[in-house]
A and B are shown apart, each in its own frame.
Chain A
Amino acid sequence: MSVAPTLLAVEDLTKSYGGVHAVRGVSFSVAAGEIVALIGPNGAGKSTCFDMLNGQKTPDRGRVRLLGEDITGRPPRAVWRLGVGRTFQITATFPTMTVRENVQVALVSYANKIFNVWRSTPDFERGEADRLLELVGVGGYAERPCGELAYGDLKRLELAIALANHPRLLLMDEPTAGMAPRERIELMRLTARIAREQSIGVLFTEHDMDVVFEHANRILVLNRGTLIAEGSPDDVRRDPQVRAIYLGEGLVYDARHREGAGA
């Protein structure tokens, strides 16, 4: 499957809080254009893992490499400049700005014009901002206050912001949480399409197994801070250990999935 070069390589990632291991010896990799899901019970260490990948937290041990370059412990803003975009479990946008301005701020940062004091931001790279909004399907809301967007559209806006710096890797923390089933599928299809077209690697966490089984090329399963399984959706679905600790009896997600992956 992954003929593409390794984009993200994680080795022996470890982090503990007050003597309790949140993440212990986790190693995996993501290739360009690949969509990888990180799943596991609540409290398994998924968020901690994510936070260490984009520099929100510093690991106690282990390395994170992006295209061979060691990025361990660099602050989030530096990791972003190397081409890692992130969306959050609870959307983080700028509620007092319009939808377009949200993207424009990211473009300002990408163009390194943060300390420019005389240009007008509302006119800054308007075209590019609108193109990104169009791409994720919220082009019609550009002038709206961001605080008025429906939740699903906020998630799309976050994706547009994350795409503003032409990322190589997208980290998406529960990208479809709080969305209706069809919205979930649509957002993930969109993500998959963009990932394929621009050869972006995607790593996402998710509790909706319908989304995971449908869109992930590969699944990593985390439990109590360690990786307990890794493989194709089919492998993971059949894994008895994963069923016991995480999937349960399959009552609350659609068990009739197509084989294989991707849209």
Chain B
Amino acid sequence: MSFYIVQFLTGLASAASLFLVASGLSIIFGVTRIVNFAHGAFYMLGAYVAFTLTERLSGTLGFWGGIVGAALIVALIGVIVEMVLLRRIYRSPELFQLLATFGLTLMVEDLVVLIWGPDDLLGRRAPGLRGAIDFFGQAVPTYDILLIVLGPVVLGLLWLLFRRTRWGVLVRAATQDRDMVAALGVNQKWLFTSVFALGVFLAALGGALQIPRDAVNHTMDLRIIVDVFVVVVIGGLGSITGAFVAAVLVSELNAFGILIFPKISIILVFLVMAVVLVVRPWGLFGKPEAAARQTPGLSVRPWRPLSSNERLAFIGALIIAAALPLLGSNYALIVGAEIAIFVIFAASLHFLMSVGGLASFGHAAYFGLGTYGVAFLAKFLGLPMIVCLLIGPLLGLLGAMLFGWFAVQLSGVYFAMLTLAFAQIVWSIAFQWVEVTGGDNGILGVWPAAFVATPARFYWLALFVTALSVIVLRVLVFSPFGYSLRATRDSALRSEAIGLNSKRIQWTAFVIAGTFAGIAGALFAYLKGSVFPDNAGIALSVDSLVMVLLGGVETVSGAVIGAIVYKALSIWLVSYTELSKLVLGGMIVLIVVAFPKGIAGTFGNLVDSGRLPFFKRALPRASQAEGAE
């Protein structure tokens, strides 16, 4: 019995850091509407800086001064990031900020290795709290007791801050309508900066407080960010009490899951999250997201089928791409095939995200299922490649049918987080079910059939499937189904009022997107010759998001361009520099600032302004002054 109690206390202690980081994320999201992907990076920085400070400063005061000092220093870095980067992109399309903060995360990951080295660092223990308290014969570290007390204290302080101070009232007001706060004489720039600083401070403090318990290393950012997303979603975005309760819940699940359900310990948390979201779509303490206020006078360029010139350009590009084997090396062809596969992957997410308005954070799940579908068929049943390619993606389809049904019950950030959770479930199954999937060792030896065994032939196969997929998806966009899907995205109210069954339409779109991701995965398995859990991993899901956002969410062709640019860039960088993440992250950040509408969106604006006459088309423009109010 006492063993379980101690386990419970350990869970509570872990909850403290998780709560600090999660509440910071929640506060930042509430006011700025930014899902701060870099929050994990700030947490990690907090730990590293605290490590350095506590090594240099001595005594009790030195230790605690180091912890708090580290949080303050990182908060200052956060302020600089907010002022230099985020302030430029608050008006950018939703999720664009996510891209920027993702770029930032990449940069930080390389920077910490550059500064502190790649090895784990063991931090100092807290002076005076090195011992343990005997608890019915079991030892509980004194430091854990401190953390257990700290959680509720911070919760109470935050509550007072938001309920009892003018700053808190302003922040809560800005959470709802930031322009109105400015129209009442409040300088929202500084309000945003201070909120961001507080959020980063909490994250960094969470990281700093971990050093006596855990080794500091350069992967701790991604490990915590997933947990934090889960906590914030279970608790309800914007609710600090919710973040606290969920942090405890998640930490206890982690503490006991390993004892009670060792087989499914990793997915337990995600299962709980999925259940919570299906039962309470806005988390335990959250409120429904208010519909975004439509900016007046914002006219969107309606999508058009390709003009004949654009069709020519597309065919031309395809011919040039098909001629690559005449010029390129085998390496170039393999890279080319990989890029082509990622074009399908990005285009499938684009269909869900841009046409359907459903931003999935876990699209790699269906890509990964496609790879395993092929691997199972090829290895266990020994089916020929063509059959595998045709049937393998069906695993992606089935996965999308199952998960999609739950996911489309939600929308917005909650949809994003639930899809992320489902992707983690897929990843965990692939990782833990060693007997079938080979676990981390993967499934090897998935080789293409003889007729496409040369790089050139495989490249042509990939290019053919890609062209076909892109064309099919494009036809879909302009079909009655595509319009119905866009209708549910534009106005749920109006869609239902003209007889459209939104959930069914969105579910169908989810399944279509999942199937095409599965097709991409199937090809990918043959390209690599092997299949690993990471084919369904978070990194890949984020890659797909980056490709779509980079290309431009508001355009039809953005995903294709985004995939080519991003994939080519990342492959090239990995081969040319040691610091590929730093450079790639930096480039993403630069692109976000330079092309706030994505590459294709910026191109479209150039066309509109008449600077690219070849692509010009007759679009009736409204006379001025109308409909602007």
A residues near B, CB below 8 A? 54, 56, 75-78, 80-81, 85-86, 88, 92-98, 101, 104-106, 108-110, 113-122, 124, 143-151, 153-154, 161, 164-165
Please name 16 further chain A to chain B contacts, defined as beta carbons within 8 Å, in addition to the given A94-B491, A109-B499, A145-B301, sorted by A numbering: A80-B496, A92-B491, A94-B490, A98-B302, A101-B483, A104-B483, A110-B498, A110-B499, A113-B480, A114-B480, A115-B484, A119-B479, A149-B627, A153-B627, A161-B498, A165-B498
Distance (whole angstroms) from the CB of A14 to the closest CB of chain B: 23
Given A54-B497, A77-B499, A80-B497, are A96 and B302 neighbors across the interface (CB < 8 Å)? yes
> What would be 29 A-B contacts, judged by CB atoms less than 8 Å apart?
A78-B499, A88-B497, A92-B491, A92-B493, A94-B490, A95-B294, A95-B300, A97-B302, A97-B483, A97-B490, A101-B483, A105-B483, A105-B484, A105-B487, A105-B498, A110-B498, A114-B505, A116-B480, A117-B475, A117-B479, A117-B482, A120-B478, A120-B479, A122-B305, A143-B620, A144-B622, A145-B302, A150-B626, A165-B499
**Could you tell me which residues of chain B, from 453 to 492, have a CB within 8 Å of some CB in chain A?**
475-476, 478-484, 486-487, 490-491
Given A96-B490, A148-B622, are A116 and B499 neighbors across the interface (CB < 8 Å)? no
Q: Which B residues lie within 8 Å of A76 (CB)?
A: 496-497
Q: Which A residues lie within 8 Å of B481 (CB)?
A: 114-117
Q: B494 within 8 Å of A by Cβ?
A: yes
Distance (whole angstroms) from the CB of A138 to the closest CB of chain B: 12
Expressed in whole angstroms, the Cα–Cα distance for A231 and B627 within the complex equals: 38
Contact with A along B178-214 (1 / 0, CB 8 A): 0000000000000000000000000000000000000
When the two chains form their complex, are residues A77 and B508 in contact, meaning their CB atoms are under 8 A apart? Answer: no
Q: Is the interface of B mostly helix, strand, loop or mixed?
A: loop
Distance (whole angstroms) from the CB of B532 to the closest CB of chain A: 34
When the two chains form their complex, are residues B501 and A77 in contact, meaning their CB atoms are under 8 A apart? Answer: yes
When the two chains form their complex, are residues B493 and A88 in contact, meaning their CB atoms are under 8 A apart? Answer: yes
Residue from A56, A75, A148, A151 with most neighbouring chain B CB atoms (10 Å): A148
In the complex, residue of chain A having the shortest beta-carbon distance to the beta carbon of B294: A95
Q: B303 within 8 Å of A by Cβ?
A: yes
Expressed in whole angstroms, the Cα–Cα distance for A153 and B491 within the complex equals: 18
Given A92-B494, A118-B479, are A145 and B300 neighbors across the interface (CB < 8 Å)? yes
When the two chains form their complex, are residues A124 and B480 in contact, meaning their CB atoms are under 8 A apart? Answer: yes
Counting from the closest, the 10 A-B pairs by CB-CB distance are A148-B622, A92-B494, A94-B490, A147-B299, A76-B496, A108-B480, A121-B483, A116-B480, A80-B499, A148-B299
Q: Which B residues lie within 8 Å of A101 (CB)?
A: 302, 483
Expressed in whole angstroms, the Cα–Cα distance for A195 and B497 within the complex equals: 19
B residues near A, CB below 8 A? 294, 298-303, 305, 475-476, 478-484, 486-487, 490-491, 493-494, 496-501, 505, 508, 619-620, 622, 626-627, 629
Distance (whole angstroms) from the CB of B353 to the closest CB of chain A: 14
Expressed in whole angstroms, the Cα–Cα distance for A94 and B294 within the complex equals: 12
Q: Which B residues lie within 8 Å of A153 (CB)?
A: 627
When the two chains form their complex, are residues A121 and B480 in contact, meaning their CB atoms are under 8 A apart? Answer: yes
When the two chains form their complex, are residues A118 and B491 in contact, meaning their CB atoms are under 8 A apart? Answer: no
In the complex, residue of chain B having the shortest beta-carbon distance to the beta carbon of A104: B483
Expressed in whole angstroms, the Cα–Cα distance for A93 and B185 within the complex equals: 33
When the two chains form their complex, are residues A150 and B627 in contact, meaning their CB atoms are under 8 A apart? Answer: yes
Distance (whole angstroms) from the CB of B318 to the closest CB of chain A: 21
Residue from A94, A106, A122, A161 with most neighbouring chain B CB atoms (10 Å): A94
Q: Which A residues lie within 8 Å of B498 (CB)?
A: 77, 80, 105-106, 109-110, 161, 164-165
When the two chains form their complex, are residues A92 and B629 in contact, meaning their CB atoms are under 8 A apart? Answer: no
Distance (whole angstroms) from the CB of B78 to the closest CB of chain A: 35
When the two chains form their complex, are residues B484 and A108 in contact, meaning their CB atoms are under 8 A apart? Answer: yes
Q: Which B residues lie within 8 Å of A88 (CB)?
A: 493-494, 497
Q: Which A residues lie within 8 Å of B494 (CB)?
A: 88, 92-94, 161
Q: Which B residues lie within 8 Å of A150 (CB)?
A: 626-627
Expressed in whole angstroms, the Cα–Cα distance for A220 and B313 within the complex equals: 62
Q: Which B residues lie within 8 Å of A118 (CB)?
A: 475, 479
Expressed in whole angstroms, the Cα–Cα distance for A78 and B483 within the complex equals: 20
Q: Which B residues lie within 8 Å of A148 (CB)?
A: 299, 622, 626-627
Expressed in whole angstroms, the Cα–Cα distance for A94 and B495 within the complex equals: 9
Distance (whole angstroms) from the CB of B510 to the closest CB of chain A: 14
When the two chains form their complex, are residues A119 and B480 in contact, meaning their CB atoms are under 8 A apart? Answer: yes
When the two chains form their complex, are residues A94 and B622 in contact, meaning their CB atoms are under 8 A apart? Answer: no
Expressed in whole angstroms, the Cα–Cα distance for A263 and B76 within the complex equals: 68
Expressed in whole angstroms, the Cα–Cα distance for A93 and B482 within the complex equals: 16
Distance (whole angstroms) from the CB of B404 to the closest CB of chain A: 15
Out of B298, B486, B499, B501, which one reaches A94, CB within 8 Å? Answer: B486
Residue from B294, B303, B479 with most neighbouring chain A CB atoms (10 Å): B479
When the two chains form their complex, are residues B496 and A117 in contact, meaning their CB atoms are under 8 A apart? Answer: no
When the two chains form their complex, are residues B626 and A81 in contact, meaning their CB atoms are under 8 A apart? Answer: no
Q: Which A residues lie within 8 Å of B480 (CB)?
A: 108, 113-117, 119, 121, 124
When the two chains form their complex, are residues A94 and B487 in contact, meaning their CB atoms are under 8 A apart? Answer: yes
Q: Which A residues lie within 8 Å of B299 (CB)?
A: 95, 145, 147-148
Expressed in whole angstroms, the Cα–Cα distance for A148 and B296 within the complex equals: 10
When the two chains form their complex, are residues B508 and A147 in contact, meaning their CB atoms are under 8 A apart? Answer: no
Out of B294, B298, B499, B626, which one reaches A149, CB within 8 Å? Answer: B626
Distance (whole angstroms) from the CB of A155 to the closest CB of chain B: 12
Q: Which A residues lie within 8 Å of B627 (CB)?
A: 147-151, 153-154
Q: Which A residues lie within 8 Å of B500 (CB)?
A: 77, 105, 109, 114
Q: Which B residues lie within 8 Å of A85 (CB)?
A: 497
Residue from B300, B476, B493, B496 with most neighbouring chain A CB atoms (10 Å): B496
Residue from A96, A108, A150 with most neighbouring chain B CB atoms (10 Å): A96
Expressed in whole angstroms, the Cα–Cα distance for A177 and B452 within the complex equals: 65
Expressed in whole angstroms, the Cα–Cα distance for A85 and B626 within the complex equals: 27
Distance (whole angstroms) from the CB of A34 to the closest CB of chain B: 22
Q: Which B residues lie within 8 Å of A119 (CB)?
A: 479-480
Expressed in whole angstroms, the Cα–Cα distance for A76 and B508 within the complex equals: 20
Expressed in whole angstroms, the Cα–Cα distance for A75 and B498 within the complex equals: 11
In the complex, residue of chain A having the shortest beta-carbon distance to the beta carbon of B498: A106
Expressed in whole angstroms, the Cα–Cα distance for A179 and B508 within the complex equals: 39
Q: Which B residues lie within 8 Å of A86 (CB)?
A: 497
In the complex, residue of chain A having the shortest beta-carbon distance to the beta carbon of B485: A114
Distance (whole angstroms) from the CB of B86 to the closest CB of chain A: 27
In the complex, residue of chain B having the shortest beta-carbon distance to the beta carbon of A147: B299
Distance (whole angstroms) from the CB of A101 to the closest CB of chain B: 7
Distance (whole angstroms) from the CB of B352 to the closest CB of chain A: 15
When the two chains form their complex, are residues A147 and B298 in contact, meaning their CB atoms are under 8 A apart? Answer: yes
Expressed in whole angstroms, the Cα–Cα distance for A122 and B482 within the complex equals: 11
Residue from B476, B490, B508 with most neighbouring chain A CB atoms (10 Å): B490
Q: Which B residues lie within 8 Å of A78 (CB)?
A: 499
Expressed in whole angstroms, the Cα–Cα distance for A121 and B481 within the complex equals: 9
Expressed in whole angstroms, the Cα–Cα distance for A106 and B487 within the complex equals: 10
Residue from B475, B481, B482 with most neighbouring chain A CB atoms (10 Å): B481
